[in-house]
Amino acid sequence: MNQNIFSTSSITLSKSAVRQNVRFVKKKLADNVLLSAVLKGNAYGHGIKEIVPLFESANVKHLSVFSTHEAELVCQVKKKTTEVMIMGWMEDEETEWAIENDVEFYVFEIGRLEAAIHFAKRLGKKAKLHVEVETGMNRTGFEQEHLEEVMDLMKENKEYISFTGLCTHYAGAESITNYIRVVDQIKKYKKICDLFEENGLVPKRKHTACSAAAMSYPETQMDMVRIGILLYGFWPSQETFIAYQRSNGHGQDGLDRKVKHPLKRVMSWRSKIMSVKEVPVGEFVGYGTSYQATKKMKIATVPVGYAYGFARSLSNQGRVIVNGKRVAVISTVNMNLMIINVTECKNVGKGDEVIMIGSNGKVNVTVASFGELSNQLNYELLSRLPMDIPRKVVI
């Protein structure tokens, strides 16, 4: 039975947008740098199972996820030759599944390294390890004082280990305010690389760069980059976009509005009007007294609220598109619905399309505009979209 029949909204994913974004990123990479597409957070809200074939169709051959659960979802739909890497959560026992299925994974604790060696011995198969080192993010990664123990374990068990990567993560490459901190991290990482190589441990791939670092600090690209938000059509920050424009000669302030935007948004999110009614002047609308009609007005309810990914912080601030016109979200966003002001919309009625993310002609509503209104990041808004919203691929 058609899932859309029972859904209050739907998401479409553009195959051509994915290809455009992959082309753009690859052009910005140095020769022989492997692109790994990051799929954490349900592929930034786009849907792991739906997005994997789209990246593969754009010749992306390496995918990065956060957890074993996400890796398992990827393995259900990926091509046999596509590589998968787990960057975060794994139970130690889950390393057996990863080794068995040729899934690469980070190690950033001695316990996980020991578990990887244990299960590799039991399976008689090498564990594909990416050793994450601490350079200044202070989140996960082996600190300097543990590196000797790590290297000793790796050398003692080299027949059970494939040293697939040596990696770190930068603390805020999307903002110039973190410049000194990022530069220090680059220096620390290079020293650690030298240390490993002096001990006869040479990684197959050195990788440190996320979307922001790959764009703003080209020297961080190394052998592989882990690109997330850019591939979905969004910049990590306004600063990163401005830096891109400046580097391409688009004006001193980096804000040349005539320049065609190089990225395309992969996602659009739509619903329908549930009900339309008129409200007399002076009446309050919705819960509480946050919105009062200053004139006779027409309102519509839309069956999407904060339980479905439309943040409550967008109450009296959000915008959606109805019949080609951008209209305001009024009153408090409810758990299951929002109320919109359709007074200026002609011939509006039940069943009319409502666009929460996307465009109608030249009128558009972006995730970035949500962020500006609600003080949320692109990443947060996207990854909070419920997994059970139907997702459909379009050309």
Distances in whole angstroms, Cα of residue 392 to Cα of each of 2, 59, 269, 365: 12, 20, 11, 19
Are 241 and 229 spatial neighbours (Cβ–Cβ below 8 Å)?
Answer: no
| Residue 277 three-state SS | strand
Annotated binding site for substrate: 139, 335
The two three-digit tokens of residue 184, written as one number: 């220090």
How far lies 218's CA from each of 189, 198, 225, 303, in Å? 15, 25, 10, 45
Compute the distance between CA of residue 108 and CA of residue 49 in angstroms, rounded to an integer: 28
Euclidean distance between CA atoms 121 and 118, whole angstroms: 5
182 token code pair = 């990022």
Which residue is catalytic, options 155, 158, 187, 287?
287
Q: Which residues participate in the annotated binding site?
A: 139, 335
Query: How do 205-209 and 224-227 pair as beta strands?
Result: parallel
The interaxial angle of helices 48-57 and 68-77, nearest 10 deg, is 60
The residue count for the chain: 395
CB 165 within 8 A of CB 224: yes
Residue 149 has a CB neighbour count (10 Å cut-off) of: 12
CA distance 184 to 202: 22
Residue ranges in the chain assigned as alpha helix (H): 15-28, 40-44, 48-57, 68-77, 94-100, 110-123, 147-156, 179-198, 211-216, 238-247, 367-374, 378-383
Q: ∠ CA 84-86-90 to the nearest 5 degrees?
A: 140
Tell me which of 40, 126, 128, 206 is the catalytic residue: 40
Catalytic site includes residue 40: yes
The residues that are catalytic are: 40, 287
